[in-house]
Homo-oligomer: A and B are copies of this chain.
Amino acid sequence: MYCSIMISGGGSTQTPYFSKSINRQKSELLFFLWLPFSFYVQFQSLDYDNIENQLFLEEERRMSYLGFRCLEISRWVVCGWIGFLTGLIACFIDIAVEELAGFKYQVVKENIEKFTEVGGLSISLLLWAVLNAAIVMVGAIIVAYFEPIAAGSGIPQIKCYLNGIKIPRVVRLKTLVVKVCGVICSVVGGLAVGKEGPMIHSGAVVAAGVSQGRSTSLKKDFKIFEYFRRDTEKRDFVSAGAAAGVSAAFGAPVGGVLFSLEEGASFWNQMLTWRIFFASMISTFTLNFFLSIYHKNTGDLSSPGLINFGRFEGDSVAYNLYEIPLFILMGAIGGLLGALFNILNYWLTIFRIRYVHRPCLQVMEAMLVAAVTATVSFTMIYFSNDCQPLGPEHAEEYPLQLFCADGEYNSMATAFFNTPERSVRSLFHNQAGTYNPLTLGLFTLTYFFLACWTYGLAVSAGVFIPSLLIGAAWGRLFGILLAYITPNSVSKWADPGKYALIGAAAQLGGIVRMTLSLTVIMVEATGNVTYGFPIMLVLMTAKIVGDYIVEGLYDIHIKLQSVPFLHWEAPATSHWLTAREVMSSPVTCLNRIEKVGTIVDTLSNTSTKHNGFPVVVQPAKLCGLILRSQLIVLLKHKVFVELARSRLTHRKLQLKDFRDAYPRFPPIQSIHVSQDERECMMDLTEFMNPTPYTVPQETSLPRVFKLFRALGLRHLVVVDDENRVVGLVTRKDLARYHLGKHGLEELQLAQT
């Protein structure tokens, strides 16, 4: 299904688990068809291995114990700020959506009420559709024209970032602004989207910004936290930010931590986790505090209204042993529906990559979807004759009477004429009998396709809430049918709200395939731990069933970006591959004292695919590793041996110079080196990492993989018995291998 290219050569006796390349041409063709339109083919790896050169070590050695304590305290302060700001942003999004959507629904509702009496509801439809399309247009324009990276939920991008892939512009301030405005427009515009995914991305951007103590976009440097200006530290903070985002989105601090760990952690560290948890907690706390002010019960931090999906309490939470098989069945259904969703969305994305890649087309598509969503919703509400009595306990904010009798409301409207989050809440908590089965069935069907069409549009939007909504709808339907089959025990156990929750979990699990973190998020978002076991069972079943058919939605989108994403473990059957076979060779090495001209030529040479260069002393003995970015800083500051001699007063290059340039190192083309200077020499000793990780040539792929994954490496030097460089393994060399249906396959990845 994916555009992977089977390896054909290599001898089948030595490589018993490589399938013969049967359909190589076909898949190659398909691959190259869409490659040029791939989202972002430029990426760099992040350096999660510490740059341990002499400058760095000197600084560390100079630092006293107290200095380290201060650093530790700064980390906590930064995490606190990350949590606070993420909470504030989430609060802003929440309130803006609430107010604007409230205003929109009020306008439309009044209009509908007016025309229900006098006739001519088509005008209401037109008003609704135009209103939606207009709002969505704003959101789509800022995304498509100003910051395309802000499209979608941002979760695949954050996953990539935490995995060690640097996607350009993903954690910039501009992205944040576009993301926040975009998501407000999308949700208010009535699309089948949620605001949760973008909150996670927002948290990550906040973290990347705060932790660096400066904003490159705003050209403002606060001169603080300079120590954190390197990839390892920044990554840690970004995971805290993502956790804070989850925490704010779902009120799930523990879930947030687990999300970060599932997606990002390569090495678990107690203090780091604890800091991440702190950020998450502060984020929920901030959000709850400000929302409690907004809801006018200031300071009451445990108000049930702050739990996203309403609190499940009392008898409705009971479940019994004989319900377990039913839950598992629902999990399987969720897995199947999720896989269907993913396949449809995959083909749609391929279509979009090929035909809808111009910004104006993207905006038009988004507007079309908005208009269609409004029209479909209106039609469904219009033709529904499911009227329910309007009780005082109902939570619907905008009950539509339409053709119902006085004191009744249209039940279909609670699902369609509402923000998706409220709809989920209604499905979870409204009493048995609030919805009739037909309403739910039709709703599931239409919303499924709408959500599938919506995900991947050029708007900021998440897929969590739509998935939950679809699942809650069919889950509730399932519960109602159960009650129908076993009428005499209905009041006892087949509470439709409970089945709505299980269905929601199943559907979401079937689409995104998250595991532990999702269980905890669901538990925290419903405020009740009793459902932990059934939710886990359901998610597990959904994942197993779904994985059998197709990958998770995020993984599909990551794959479509063809970035070198490293999974948890090397493919199972890859033990027969060794470093010798996977490494890039020959590798460009530099001498410890190298001519400037050679360095400039090496960096300018576009065929040099890697960003790390082994430094050798003759004859080819490895003595260090230096990064492209470091060389560029050296060139920029003209750290040449000859100049140092002539200008004795010349300031020595410091770690600060590297930090100031981080993370936007200029390209080599922008650095001017005169012909004279080309003849100078550069001494790399001080700046290279003198102890790079190395492996012998015979090391097996899983062992190399484990080193990469556990230490967050991006370059691993392969040496022979004599410590001579024979090759270099990069992320891309490892990410190529992939376990497909026919055994081990080699993937084609985007060129750097």
Contact = CB atoms under 8 A, between A and B. Distances in A.
Interface of A: 16-17, 50, 52, 57, 60-61, 63-65, 68, 253-254, 257, 261-262, 265-271, 273-274, 277-278, 281, 284-285, 289, 298-303, 307, 313-314, 317-322, 515-516, 519-520, 523-524, 527-530, 532-533, 536-537, 540, 568-569, 572-573, 575-576, 621, 623, 690-691, 694-696, 698-700, 703, 706-707, 709-711, 719, 721-723, 739, 743
A57 B281 contact: no
A532 B318 contact: no
* Most chain B CB within a 10 A radius of its CB, from A524, A575, A709: A575
A274 B520 CA distance: 12
Contact of A690 (B254, B278, B289, B698): B698
* Most chain B CB within a 10 A radius of its CB, from A298, A537, A703: A703
Given A278-B540, A532-B254, A691-B703, A572 B68 contact: yes
Contact of A269 (B253, B307, B568, B573): B568
8 contacts: A60-B575, A63-B573, A254-B254, A267-B268, A277-B515, A281-B537, A289-B321, A691-B700
Nearest to A314: B313
A609 B723 CA distance: 28
Contacts of A568: 269-271
Given A254-B516, A524-B532, 7 more contacts: A65-B739, A273-B515, A281-B532, A298-B321, A302-B317, A302-B318, A694-B694
Nearest to A304: B530
A604 B509 CA distance: 57
Q: Is the interface of A mostly helix, strand, loop or mixed?
A: mixed
A276 B526 CA distance: 23
Contacts of A268: 261, 265-268
Contact of A278 (B57, B289, B536): B536
Contacts of A515: 270, 273-274, 277
A500 to B, nearest CB: 17
B703 A52 contact: yes
A50 B700 CA distance: 11
A314 B707 CA distance: 50
Nearest to A704: B691
Given A573-B64, A576-B61, A707 B711 contact: yes
B711 A706 contact: yes
A17 B299 contact: no
Contact of A281 (B17, B533, B722): B533
A519 B313 CA distance: 22
Contacts of A711: 706-707, 710-711
Contacts of A722: 722-723
Contacts of A723: 719, 721-723
A59 to B, nearest CB: 9
Contact of A516 (B61, B277, B575): B277
Given A536-B277, A700-B57, A267 B710 contact: yes
A-B pairs with lowest CB-CB distance, top 10: A68-B572, A299-B321, A60-B575, A710-B710, A691-B699, A302-B530, A61-B576, A274-B515, A265-B268, A302-B318
Nearest to A318: B302
A121 to B, nearest CB: 44
Given A527-B529, A706-B711, A722-B723, A520 B270 contact: no
A714 to B, nearest CB: 15
A67 to B, nearest CB: 9
A311 to B, nearest CB: 9
Contacts of A698: 690-691
A321 B301 CA distance: 7
Contact of A529 (B301, B524, B694, B721): B524
Contact of A320 (B257, B299, B529): B299
Contacts of A317: 302
Contacts of A64: 17, 573
Contacts of A540: 274, 278
A536 to B, nearest CB: 5
Nearest to A514: B270
* Most chain B CB within a 10 A radius of its CB, from A317, A322, A540, A691: A691
A568 B275 CA distance: 14
Contacts of A266: 267-268, 710
A374 to B, nearest CB: 37
A540 B79 CA distance: 14
Given A254-B532, A268-B266, A572-B68, A277 B61 contact: no
Contact of A523 (B17, B68, B529, B696): B529
Nearest to A578: B691
Nearest to A697: B691
A532 B17 CA distance: 49
A696 B703 contact: no
B277 A519 contact: yes
A68 B573 contact: yes
Nearest to A264: B268
A65 B273 contact: no
A364 B700 CA distance: 57
A49 to B, nearest CB: 9
B281 A302 contact: no
A66 to B, nearest CB: 10
Contacts of A532: 253-254, 281, 284, 524
A10 to B, nearest CB: 14
* Most chain B CB within a 10 A radius of its CB, from A52, A289, A303: A52
A719 B743 CA distance: 38
A700 B524 contact: no
A264 to B, nearest CB: 9
A711 B700 CA distance: 15
A723 B321 CA distance: 62
A52 B695 CA distance: 14
B575 A57 contact: yes
A302 B274 contact: no
Contacts of A60: 575-576
